[in-house]
Every structure is written in C-alpha cells, then in structure tokens.
Chain A
Amino acid sequence: GAGVSQSPSNKVTEKGKDVELRCDPISGHTALYWYRQSLGQGLEFLIYFQGNSAPDKSGLPSDRFSAERTGGSVSTLTIQRTQQEDSAVYLCASSESTGGLGEQFFGPGTRLTVL
C-alpha cells in the first residue's frame, strides 16, 4: 500500500491486560513516530524511531509503555497492564526526513478502549 497502515483499527481490552499495536510505515521512510490522541486533547508525542533505534522516548507516559522497530520498517507499541486512562487513539506517522524535519504522514490510528 502507498500509505501508513495500522492494526488493529479498534481494540477493546480489560484493565490489567497487555496490548500490542502495530504500525507499517511507508516503504523507505526512515523516521517513525507514535502519538496518542485523547478525547478533547491534542496529539501527544510518545516516541521517535530513526531506523531501528529510538533517540527520543521522552513522551512515553510510564514504564508500562514500550515500543520497538525491526528491519527499519514495522513498529510495535506495547502497553502492559492497561489502565482506563490509556484509552485513546494511537497514531503512527512516518517520514522520509529524520530528526523531526519534513512532513509526517499519518496512519488511520488504533482506537484503544480499556474497560
């Protein structure tokens, strides 16, 4: 596909369970970002990947959140022991340019609901 894809599109889970969210960036894009969008809030930065390394993890809200990227392509965001406040839309974006420069192209997001 030509754009960023994310799966699943929707995820409903129970408090305390672990979840994995997947992002497939645009082919050839070196930079990959995760953001979170909560109701009534702006987009909140979580983590930035340059290739397979993450030089900026400053937005991860707690140690329950982790992310990895393999092969310079697919990324997985893992939330352990989910809490109700983790409910949000998780958005992934990729860019040709590294270091925050250049346009970021977003996927459709994963809507996470924690009951």
Chain B
Amino acid sequence: EDQVTQSPEALRLQEGESSSLNCSYTVSGLRGLFWYRQDPGKGPEFLFTLYSAGEEKEKERLKATLTKKESFLHITAPKPEDSATYLCAVNSNSGYALNFGKGTSLLVTP
C-alpha cells in the first residue's frame, strides 16, 4: 500500500528565513509526485509534478526536488504570503488516485 509522510507537521519561519519541507514516500511504481498549496477554506492549488529521481522544478521562491525515496520543497527567502499548508501526493501503479500526505502547515511571520 502506498504511503506518504510529510514532515514537519508545522513550521514557523521568519520572513527571509529559508527552509525545506520533506515528503517521504513508499509506493509500488511511482508515476508522479505532486506538490500542492492549500489556503484555509480553499481547494488545493497545483504547484509541481516530478516524475523521476533527480528531477527538479522551480517557481518563484519554491524549488521541488525528487529522489527515489523522498521529495523536498525548498522555500528560499519566504514571504508572509507563502503561509499555507503544503501537500505532497503520489500517483503509482496501484491506482488512479492521488495518495496525499497530511501536509505541512507553514507560517511565515514578518
């Protein structure tokens, strides 16, 4: 059975303080790893898809990387508007759905 574990559960950063969020996964044949951002009261917003180990993608202050066992979401010089819950999900050979982790709640203070 696919498993996705995100850490830490919560993270508080000062504005400008860079850090990384972790997503560890165990799947039977990874077909894609997805990062989403979710603001309170809203649906998840797509950020990145990674398909194979060694792949990296960037968008503004965010950079996602992938190894055979985990993915990192690096946040460089975060701003308060980056505060949100970041969700990691995998799709594997075991089915059609995305299997989500429980998320990391990020708070960036001025």
Contact = CB atoms under 8 A, between A and B. Distances in A.
Interface of A: 4, 31, 33, 35, 40-45, 48, 55-56, 58-59, 91, 93, 99-109
A99 B96 contact: yes
Closest 9 CB pairs of A and B: A106-B43, A45-B97, A100-B96, A43-B100, A48-B96, A42-B100, A42-B102, A100-B91, A56-B96
Nearest to A6: B43
A105 to B, nearest CB: 6
Contacts, number: 67
Contact of B98 (A4, A100, A107, A109): A100
Interface stretch (B10-18, B44-52, B74-82): B44-52
A101 B87 contact: no
Interface string B81-102: 0000001010100011111111
B41 to A, nearest CB: 8
B46 A105 contact: yes
Contacts of B98: 33, 35, 43, 45, 100, 104
